[in-house]
Amino acid sequence: MAVSRPSPPPTQAAADSAALATPVAVPAKPPKPRSRMMRQYDLVERVRSYNPDTNEDLLNRAYVYAMKAHGSQTRASGDPYFTHPLEVAAILTDLKLDDATIVAALLHDTIEDTEATRAEIDHLFGPEIGALVEGLTKLKRLELVSREAKQAENLRKLLLAIADDVRVLLVKLADRLHNMRTLEFVPEASRRRIAEETLDIYAPLAGRMGMQEMREELEDLSFRTLDPDAYRVVMQRLDALTDRNLDLIGEIESQLAKKFRDNGLTARVSGRRKKPFSIWTKMERKSIGFEQLSDIFGFRVIMPDVESCYRALGIVHTTWPVVPGRFKDYISTPKQNDYRSIHTTVIGPGKQRVELQIRTQEMDQIAELGIAAHAFYKDDVGSPTELLKRESNAFAWLRHTIGILSESANPEEFLEHTKLELFHDQVFCFTPKGKLIALPRHANVIDFAYAVHTDVGNSAVGCKINGKFAPLSSELQNGDEVEVLTSEAQSAPPSAWESLAATGKARAAIRRATRTAVRDQYAGLGRRIVERLFERTKLDYADDKLKGALPRLARASIEDVMAAVGRGEIKASDVARAMYPDYKEERVVRYGAKKGQAAVAKPATEPPRPPSAIPIRGINSGLPVKFAPNGGAVPGDRIVGIVTPGEGITIYPIQSPALKDFEEEPERWLDVRWDVDESTPQRFPARIRVENVNEPGSLAQVATVIAEHDGNIDNISMSRRSPDFTELTIDLEVYDLKHLSAIINQLRAKTIVARVDRVNG
């Protein structure tokens, strides 16, 4: 998208919300100018026009209370501050909302910006209105360091408030719309940031709620601010094209209406042109010029009922040639924001491309007003939120998005997920049993699997698309039938899937499963460390006994304790002391090592390690295990484990000089032993240093020896020791010590090799 959105410095973050309290007067679709501030009776009449049973006394009291509360406060434009909540209320009367929402709009800044309190609002106007006003007030009480975190936290607060009452969203969108309409009075730097946030969050959110008219105005207002030159050029060309085609538009409208009338259908046909921002984004997306656009003008056909819509479609398709690939039936398959309409494009009168949207009056109202089209002011419909739960798919998306809140580790992560879902159009796919799954465009099978169920996503190992095997990363198209193949052996997805997923739900689930798997690894390690300590000290261990000691360890569950031990946050001796207050920590001497010396191996006659030693099977053992960074360790080596907080166990061969760095930290040493399954051999890391003659082909000979003996070279570094010799440091993967020794012996037998040594870092 060509609209530039530079990231402002974090120090400006706190200025944004203050700037939003300042107005704007540059709408793409300007509001009707008023010569004076709207009076009480004007507001009452606006509400009464669609709700004859309005509570006039409530509206009058709210009007007077808000005006007195804001008193002499002014906006950046110089207008009385009260004009802002009044205009927000006026926008909501255009949406025909209930009395409580109109009153909340009048009062929405009182708790934040005046001496008013929630208790006072409750007392004067009732707890329902008080809750609405507080839900809006909470959004402004955040002072975070980064702009992104502030934006994300405000969105989280907004969505959580919507979960209680969706009318909070409608007031917030109206509030943002009026701020955008008066944005010209805001300082330029803040103006751009506010426009970016509107384009990033509020306009797409309005679209997701089906409020297309509001979305388009928010987009165009943002576009005008962010790229005024592009906006001006598009508007000039759009106006010129409209002037040239006025007669053609009227002719197409009349021909369409006549065609329907001749076939016994009553239809209302109207032409409309695309909005500047929509035109600009299409030009950018398809890399085409204005003259190449063929659907700048569209025609809306309003029919009395659904049956008439399909009859009208038949008439259009049998009268004019259809443009292939431009037919979509959103009546039989509505969008998630409740949008329903039939879209088609034909080569119509005058050989012009004519884009048609065929829908009923009710569908048209929902298409423009979205969730606000539901009659909140009617009696006996229950609460607005309960009404939407029954009638609105858009609200179902909101509840799903709110569900991601608990799965996001931080505000920025949640914002990323929500933006992904706000911006994408949809594709519709099917399960083998015919269940419809709606996904964002560019979604793949991983997203599909998580949309079916989190467990399906976590255990997915393959898929079939339309009966053919395909990669899980395959992008899905409209109408695809997708079968996800799962395996019980896979309980957690690869972490790399997170970068492949296109939906917030899938990314959140993958991230959560990865965290859970890592936590389980640490908990498993911690349990082994604790059980080993209790076995060595001859103390009785039982989960029930540890459960009673949880308060002393400041942990909520046994698993939390074990994970903390595994991560090195709690010592096993702390667990013993919490369960047995008289326990005294044992002092461990590592193989008689003296200060300043590395621990050395015990004599060959020493007894085998006790059963309490933790078994090591490799990096896939279910424990957070890694090997010494400078030399590794292989089965056959005598090994010791070193616990690193937050990283798990690092396995060192006992002869490693690096162990001297841990002499003063005996609590980090673990007894470990190899537990290799010979039926499923694994490779382990080792490092060798080869000094060879510097002649052509010498490196190839070394590599050939390693390959012939089934070794795998992971990395090679070279250095010139003298004109005649080159030193190679080679990181290998081998099965065990015997395998490594065989490779070293074969290398020593080569005439071009002067010396080979194993490296123990």
Q: Looking at the domain covering 232-371, what would its CATH class be?
A: alpha beta
The pLDDT value given to residue 621: 56
Q: Is 113 labeled as catalytic in the residue annotation?
A: yes
Taking the C-alpha atoms of residue 742 and residue 160, their distance in angstroms, rounded to an integer, is 64
The model's pTM: 0.55
* Digit-coded pLDDT (tens) for 83-110: 999 999 999 998 888 899 999 999 999 9
The pLDDT value given to residue 153: 59
Which of the two residues, 20 and 692, has the higher pLDDT score? 692
Residue 5, φ and ψ in degrees, nearest 5:
-135, 75
Q: Tell me: pLDDT of 576 over 60.
A: yes
350: CB partners within 8 A, 6+ apart? 248, 251, 252
Query: Measured in Å, how far apart are the chain's first and last C-alpha atoms?
Result: 51
* Digit-coded pLDDT (tens) for 251-309: 888 888 899 999 999 899 988 888 888 888 888 877 777 777 767 788 899 999 999 99
Residues 644-666 have a mean pLDDT of: 81
DSSP state letter for 294:
S
Q: Is 305 labeled as catalytic in the residue annotation?
A: no
Question: pLDDT band at residue 359, thresholds of 50, 70 and 90?
Answer: very high
The pLDDT value given to residue 333: 83
* Digit-coded pLDDT (tens) for 212-222: 889 999 999 99
Residues 669-693 have a mean pLDDT of: 83
Q: Of these residues, 94, 112, 251, 733, which one is catalytic?
A: 112
Q: For the structural domain made of 684-758, what CATH number should be given?
A: 3.30.70.260
CA atoms within 13 A on the CB side of 242: 14
Q: Tell me: pLDDT of 635 over 50.
A: yes
Confirm if 167 and 100 have CB atoms less than 8 A apart: yes
Question: pLDDT band at residue 492, thresholds of 50, 70 and 90?
Answer: confident
CATH 1.10.3210.10 corresponds to the domain 11-226: yes
Q: Rounded mean pLDDT of the chain?
A: 79
Q: Of these residues, 56, 79, 94, 113, which one is catalytic?
A: 113
* Digit-coded pLDDT (tens) for 383-419: 555 555 555 565 566 666 555 554 555 555 555 555 5
653: CB partners within 8 A, 6+ apart? 628, 631, 633, 637, 638, 639, 760
Helix (H, G, I), strand (E, B), or coil: what is residue 44? helix
Share of the chain above pLDDT 70, in %: 79
Instruction: Give buried/exposed letters for 33-71 (b at 16+ CB in 10 A, else e).
Output: eeeeebeeeebbebbeeebeebbeebbebbbebbbebbe
Residues 336-350 have a mean pLDDT of: 83
